[in-house]
Structure 1
Amino acid sequence: MKITSNFDSGNIEVLQADSPDNIQLAIRKDNQSDFYQWFHFRLSTEHAQEHTLVITNAGDSAYPDGWKDYQAVASYDRQTWFRVDTEYDGKALTIKHFPEAESVYFAYFAPYSYERHMDLLHQAQCDYNCQLVELGETLDGRDMSMLIVGEPEEGKKKIWITARQHPGETMAEWLIEGLLDRLLDEDDGVARALLAKAVFYIVPNMNPDGSVRGHLRTNAAGMNLNREWLTPSMEKSPEVFLVRQKMLETGVDLFLDMHGDENLPYNFVAGTEGVPSYNDRITQLENLFKQTLLAVTPEFQTEFGYDLDEPGKANMTVATAWVGEQFNCLAYTVEMPFKDNANLPDEAYGWSDVRSMKLGQDMLPAVLAVVDKLR
């Protein structure tokens, strides 16, 4: 029996593994940080029996409440990820599974590999309407890549979409893949109407270093990128510095930042009601965006979400707040669950990579609903 995480986005430490019913594990912290919650590892075994895998330090993780009613995902082929029996006792997370093959992967959510990220970029650039732009490099020397979809012309709206500031929130890049798939479909009326009115600037992965390292929340230097937007630096947060610099060059009329939430079992958005420039125009745009998304898909809801910021009390180091204030534009953080969507549960798969992609496709009608009213 062998357990390893020596691969892209892998994260686990083996404390003890002397029998299938006594496997003791721990999640490794993000580099130079106390954040941890993402795990991704492979179990190889010849034992035809149930295996009990105990993550002993779950109770001290970044978001321990996230383990309540949570089920880990597993895969034999690294393509289809299904939910497995998981229990949390307030301290340890216990996964029980009877392997049906010699090798099985376990993860916090369906992983989005760096190779798939590169495939996404280069397959997209093959479309005549899409350009791949390199903004610079990360601390580990990886490319900071952006896709420009549409032909920049005077009068067109500038729509910016980012994902995976927090690398363990892989559902965010799955959403981007779905959104791109529809946006680049020449036979899709919504996509064609949007590209006649707007140009999309899309950063599918804001944190490639943290993604490959198996981090939950930070980059190679242990920085939470979604707290770096007010004063980013090339020394600590080049990912934000480079994207922010490009935004200042192009301008922004609409900003969507894709994330995953450990605790809440719903899809929801968080806006900019706490920034100094928030006004009735932004309120109306927010409401129209939400109403359209509600009409398009039952996966979205507005009853549950984060508490609203008091006027003038927004955290301006957060991307949505900084962008919304800097450009006086509609800006939303989009949150998806690590668990299941409680309003539309799926016992076998929970909230998944496939459902994230479909939500990405469903984002475009909401963008279309507001595009003419953004300025």
Structure 2
Amino acid sequence: MSFMIPSAIKISSQFDAGNIEVLDLTNPQDIQLSIRKDNQSDFFQWFHFRVQGAANQPLTLRVLNAGQAAYVDGWPDYRAVASYDRETWFRVDTAYEADTGELVIQHTPAQNSIYFAYFAPYTWEQHLDLIAQAQQSALCEVHDIGTTLDGYDLNLLKISKPTESEAPAKKQIWVTARQHPGETMAEWCAEGFIARLLDEDDALAQSILEQAEFYVVPNMNPDGSIRGHLRTNACGANLNREWETPTAERSPEVLAVRSLMQQTGVDLFLDLHGDEALPCNFIAGQEGAPHLPDTILAQEDRFKQDLAQINPDFQLERGYPPGKFGPETFTIAAFWVGREFNCPSMTLEMPFKDYDNRPDADFGWSPERSIKLGESMLYPIHQWLQADL
């Protein structure tokens, strides 16, 4: 029995974190695409789509509106990622044509179904698996702390060891990731951090848990993640500009986390992000914030130095200039938390591009390296705890 299979190329994005609009698909050498804006927002840059029916055909995919994206300086030297199995994501030939404002991706698929994305996606199903697997540890409790505007769960992991009644009070450490949903490397990094912290055979992790309790929110922005947004939640709110005056109507995610922080207190805060333009890993502390105590700044500087010592994928030479955010400063998580609790409060930024000091021609900056960086974060935390003894 025989049947006819359609031979035309198809492009789709109707799946978790999908984002693309097809403008013209008639010529495989001139496929014209457009990235959809975040809902009720002008932000856009994240893309994630599937191409079918193009095995062994050279493709030229042109993203026509790349020149109007949120961070145009993120396109030079950037290469898109692709995957056949949605597990291994490799880099493909990509060029930004500044004169036309187009991002041009060229690739000849070896198989009939291939996915392209801005960075390796971290899907909602992966997130739910991460939460479920973490809960299998006796060290971890899963807490539902709210519901997003689209009706998704906002989960927090509390990671701690039992404490003897006469033991000193433990430090309260908070870690959040993916306030900006398109920055998926943040949740990959959180995965590595959580896994190592829960490893009962890891002496460093167990030593840390004798001195500290952790509150981890691996995905602060489920709605934007699922919708395929770059930077905002369901109603177009940039969560990392909502920390001074969050509301249930606009930013329930921030309101829930902030309220819990005020109950537990915060001794150290880490917020995990990605940066479109800089081809390196760096930490933005509270430099330039008004009335920042020298003791807090010194702790943040030491934290960065300790991380650079343990992981060569982290560097100290490049980052944001002090005072970069101007009047927005205290709407940002790290600055608001640092001021509210008078504690070290830092934003870890990872690249969408490759890390130029240690380039990888096949994979660039990747989920695997993000995971390893998350694992490395335990070392500077341990050093910070020891310095406080």
TM-score where L is the length of structure 2: 0.94
Using the TM superposition, give the Cα deviation of residue 63 of structure 1 relative to its aligned residue in structure 2, in angstroms.
Answer: 0.3
Which amino acid is 2:30 matched to? N
Give the distance between the partners of 2:216 and 2:268, measured in 1 at CA. 12
- The question of 1:316 aligning with 2:324 is answered no
Using the TM superposition, give the Cα deviation of residue 313 of structure 1 relative to its aligned residue in structure 2, in angstroms.
Answer: 6.7
- Structure 1 match to 2:304: 290
Question: Residues 44 and 327 of structure 1: is their aligned pair in 2 closer, same or farther, counting only changes over 3 Å?
Answer: same
CA contact (8 A) 1:158 1:252 kept: yes
Q: Secondary structure at the match of 1:316?
A: helix
Using the TM superposition, give the Cα deviation of residue 169 of structure 1 relative to its aligned residue in structure 2, in angstroms.
Answer: 0.0
Give the distance between the partners of 2:216 and 2:331, measured in 1 at CA. 21
Q: Return the match for 2:59 from 33, 51, 65.
A: 51
Using the TM superposition, give the Cα deviation of residue 276 of structure 1 relative to its aligned residue in structure 2, in angstroms.
Answer: 3.2
- The question of 1:211 aligning with 2:225 is answered yes
Q: Return the match for 2:94 from 86, 105, 108.
A: 86
Give the distance between the partners of 1:98 and 1:113, measured in 2 at CA. 25
1:195-344 aligned at under 5 Å gives the runs: 195-309=209-323, 315-344=329-358
Using the TM superposition, give the Cα deviation of residue 294 of structure 1 relative to its aligned residue in structure 2, in angstroms.
Answer: 1.1
- The question of 1:360 aligning with 2:374 is answered yes
Which amino acid is 2:75 matched to? W
Q: Secondary structure at the match of 1:19?
A: coil
Runs ≥4 in structure 1, deviation > 3 angstroms?
151-154, 310-314, 372-375
Q: Secondary structure at the match of 2:329?
A: coil
Question: Residues 248 and 373 of structure 1: is their aligned pair in 2 closer, same or farther, counting only changes over 3 Å?
Answer: farther
Q: Which moved more, 1:313-322 or 1:331-340?
A: 313-322
Give the distance between the partners of 1:147 and 1:277, measured in 2 at CA. 32
Using the TM superposition, give the Cα deviation of residue 143 of structure 1 relative to its aligned residue in structure 2, in angstroms.
Answer: 0.7
- The question of 1:179 aligning with 2:189 is answered no
CA contact (8 A) 1:285 1:374 kept: no
Q: Secondary structure at the match of 1:145?
A: strand
Give the distance between the partners of 2:205 and 2:284, measured in 1 at CA. 25
Question: Residues 218 and 48 of structure 1: is their aligned pair in 2 closer, same or farther, counting only changes over 3 Å?
Answer: same
- Structure 2 match to 1:20: 28
Question: Residues 87 and 46 of structure 1: is their aligned pair in 2 closer, same or farther, counting only changes over 3 Å?
Answer: closer
Q: Which moved more, 1:332-341 or 1:144-153?
A: 144-153
Q: Return the match for 1:106 from 111, 116, 124.
A: 116
Q: Note the aligned Cα RMSD (angstroms).
A: 1.5
Q: Secondary structure at the match of 2:273?
A: strand
Which amino acid is 1:110 matched to? A
Q: Return the match for 2:132 from 117, 122, 127.
A: 122
Give the distance between the partners of 1:64 and 1:273, measured in 2 at CA. 26
Q: Secondary structure at the match of 1:178?
A: helix
Q: Secondary structure at the match of 2:210?
A: helix
5+ residue gaps, structure 1, are none
Which amino acid is 1:95 matched to? I
Give the distance between the partners of 2:214 and 2:231, measured in 1 at CA. 26
Using the TM superposition, give the Cα deviation of residue 374 of structure 1 relative to its aligned residue in structure 2, in angstroms.
Answer: 5.5
Which amino acid is 1:165 matched to? Q
Give the distance between the partners of 2:301 and 2:50, measured in 1 at CA. 44
- Structure 2 match to 1:73: 81
Using the TM superposition, give the Cα deviation of residue 189 of structure 1 relative to its aligned residue in structure 2, in angstroms.
Answer: 1.1
Give the distance between the partners of 2:225 and 2:291, measured in 1 at CA. 34
Using the TM superposition, give the Cα deviation of residue 283 of structure 1 relative to its aligned residue in structure 2, in angstroms.
Answer: 1.9
Q: Return the match for 2:42 from 14, 19, 34.
A: 34
5+ residue gaps, structure 2, are 1-8
Which amino acid is 1:70 matched to? Y
Give the distance between the partners of 1:28 and 1:346, measured in 2 at CA. 30
CA contact (8 A) 2:82 2:116 kept: yes
Give the distance between the partners of 2:228 and 2:21, measured in 1 at CA. 12
Using the TM superposition, give the Cα deviation of residue 372 of structure 1 relative to its aligned residue in structure 2, in angstroms.
Answer: 3.9
Q: Return the match for 2:154 from 124, 138, 144.
A: 144
Give the distance between the partners of 2:115 and 2:206, measured in 1 at CA. 40
- Structure 2 match to 1:64: 72
Question: Residues 264 and 310 of structure 1: is their aligned pair in 2 closer, same or farther, counting only changes over 3 Å?
Answer: closer
Q: Secondary structure at the match of 2:26?
A: strand
Query: Alignment identity in percent?
Result: 57
CA contact (8 A) 1:275 1:311 kept: no
State the structure with more CA Rg.
2
CA contact (8 A) 2:82 2:114 kept: yes
Using the TM superposition, give the Cα deviation of residue 152 of structure 1 relative to its aligned residue in structure 2, in angstroms.
Answer: 6.8
Using the TM superposition, give the Cα deviation of residue 46 of structure 1 relative to its aligned residue in structure 2, in angstroms.
Answer: 4.2
CA contact (8 A) 1:274 1:312 kept: no
CA contact (8 A) 1:277 1:328 kept: no
Number of equivalent positions = 375
CA contact (8 A) 1:2 1:43 kept: yes
